[in-house]
Amino acid sequence: MWFNRKILTRTVVLVSFVSLFTDIASEMLYPVMPVYLRSIGFSVLLIGILEGVAEATAGLSKGYFGQLSDVMQKRVPFVRAGYIMAAVSKPLMAIFINPVWIFFVRTLDRFGKGVRTSARDAMLSDETTPEHKGKVFGFHRSMDTVGAAIGPVLALIFLWRYPGQYRWMFFLAFFPGMFAIALTFLLRDKKATRSVDNDKQKNPDHPVSRSGHRVGPPTSPGFFSYFRYWSKATPGYRYLVAGLLAFTLFNSSDAFLLLALKERHLSDTMMIGVYIFYNLVYALSSYPIGALADKIGLKTMLIAGLVMFAIVYTCIGFITSLLFAGILFFIYGLYAACTEGISKALISNMASRPETATAIGFFNSAASMLALLSSTLAGVLWYTIGSKGMFIVSGAGVFIVACYLVFVFRLKGTPP
């Protein structure tokens, strides 16, 4: 039976549904956000600055709040607070249109993502063992991506019925966000089970009782102190994260893929349809791929995903038909299922349990920063050598990253 309650526990299912409802709300607005901002007077430059500031805020906060979650030995408060911020920010975007207010609210939304992400991923890791992490993270990504597929469909239906009524969509998006918040009140933190030796090794200045629990009041870490985790992380963690961050540098925003479809003369309806198809493939394949990864190895599945990415990016500039686009985005959906949850499962396997959120948070934070640089570089390459050249460079770069990880996994003896 694919649904095993011992693996997909109550907490895993609840967290997954929270993500589903949140993504319905977010993805309803994703296609119309730039159009809405332009309609209230934002220039393209100002939109770029807004998104840059918002994503930078999310990136930096992921590391800090991940570490704070480990220090406090709590997950639920960060998960709940982050999802509350995300839900509340949606209608606030439509209430006032002052640029300062829009900057504040959009940043609040991304800040909420930073608060919750690392603690949520650590909570999923805490619920399972290394043998089943592919299934757990795969199931979560599957549910999350179902929301990402439902959201744009709801947006299309709403705009078909009420053309141009963008502001009302922000109010409508509040309702799935409220469902997500309600579900977070059913979550409970697991009791901490710490290893004395591990705690002393990772945090020698933090007193630990004989029972294995930290004693004394936790001290709040500095905002950037999570960067110090790199120096004390295991070699396997550093090798893996170095490869994943190199991949991030070549992995530009999906907006460039959609622009490539437009450049190949696909209509708006076809473009959105292909995007929805990609999300459906991603959603439907995440759990089976996670289960398969537990059998054949998380590392093998990650490398397979990177090779798929390289194939798609190398070929995307040569699309000649809707069928060709569908095939490539089918492969792209499989790539996402092979990498998103799998990479977090691998990272959590290479971190001690008391520092899982810090390890994931460091990676999330660094990846968010590099994602900004990645899209900038992609834009420069698109402008200088054309879209085909940009995609080929990205595909070749990721293929090299895959070769690097093959070398690391085979010769450096990293954990499975």
pTM surpassing 0.85?
no
In this prediction, residue 210 carries a pLDDT of 38
Label residue 79 by pLDDT band (50, 70, 90). Answer: very high
Is the pLDDT at 315 greater than 80, yes or no? Answer: yes
Nearest to 64 by CA among 114, 110, 108: 114
Please give the CATH superfamily to which domain 10-189+226-411 belongs: MFS general substrate transporter like domains (1.20.1250.20)
Label residue 223 by pLDDT band (50, 70, 90). Answer: low
Q: Which residues pair with 208 in a beta bridge?
A: 214
pLDDT in tens, 368-398: 778 777 877 888 888 888 888 889 999 999 9
Across the range 224-231, mean pLDDT stands at 73
CA distance 324 to 123: 40
CA distances from 20 to 31, 163, 199, 291 (A): 18, 26, 35, 20
In this prediction, residue 196 carries a pLDDT of 38
In this prediction, residue 206 carries a pLDDT of 41
Residue 214 is given by DSSP the state: B
Nearest to 106 by CA among 166, 50, 23: 50
3-class secondary structure, 208:
strand
Q: Which long-range contacts (CB under 8 A, 24 or more apart) does 320-328 make?
A: 320/264, 322/266, 322/270, 322/274, 325/261, 325/264, 325/266, 325/270, 325/274, 326/274, 326/277
Across the range 78-105, mean pLDDT stands at 89
| Cβ-contact 214, 198 below 8 angstroms | no
In this prediction, residue 399 carries a pLDDT of 95
Q: Is 259 exposed, middle or buried (0-12, 13-18, 19+ CB in 10 A)?
A: middle
